């Protein structure tokens, strides 16, 4: 059991590092991305709680399904959906104020 838990945690750390790297690459080199990410979006994203930020990174940046996100994070699909919903609800007012 301990080995399985450690492997999941290791995978979570790896995915967090990859997601952070993707954000840095997208900010720095617009030619290799679909376009530069506005600074306000990056700042708002960094204000999210860690679990919501991780769920969003896995779901939106790495295109994992909610089932895969749940597996990586070691939580249920319902909890994954809740993290994504709360993240969107948190981001919405931050980004609407910037329009």
CATH of the domain at 90: 1.10.10.10
- Predicted confidence (pLDDT) at residue 64 exceeds the cutoff of 60: yes
* Residue the block writes with tokens 């007012």: 93
Return the pLDDT at 27: 63
Residue 13 belongs to domain spanning = 2-96
What number is the average pLDDT over the span 38-53? 84
Return the pLDDT at 40: 79
- Burial-class residue 99 by CB neighbours within 10 Å (0-12, 13-18, 19+): exposed
pTM, rounded to two decimals: 0.62
Return the pLDDT at 39: 77
Query: How far apart (Å, rounded) are the C-alpha atoms in residues 52 and 4?
Result: 23
Other Cβ atoms closer than 10 A to 45? 21
Q: Contact, 50 vs 32, CB < 8 A? A: no
Task: Report the number of distinct structural domains present in the chain.
Answer: 1
Q: Contact, 31 vs 56, CB < 8 A? A: no
- Predicted confidence (pLDDT) at residue 71 exceeds the cutoff of 70: yes
């Amino acid at each position: 059991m301990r080995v399985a838990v450690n492997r999941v945690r290791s995978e979570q750390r790896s995915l967090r590092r990859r997601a952070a790297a993707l954000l840095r690459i997208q900010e720095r080199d617009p030619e290799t991305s679909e376009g530069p990410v506005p600074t306000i979006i990056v700042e708002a994203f960094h204000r999210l709680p860690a679990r919501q930020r991780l769920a969003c990174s896995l779901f939106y940046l790495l295109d994992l399904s909610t089932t895969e996100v749940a597996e990586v994070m070691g939580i249920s699909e319902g909890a994954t959906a809740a993290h994504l919903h709360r993240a969107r609800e948190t981001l919405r007012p931050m980004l609407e104020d910037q329009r």
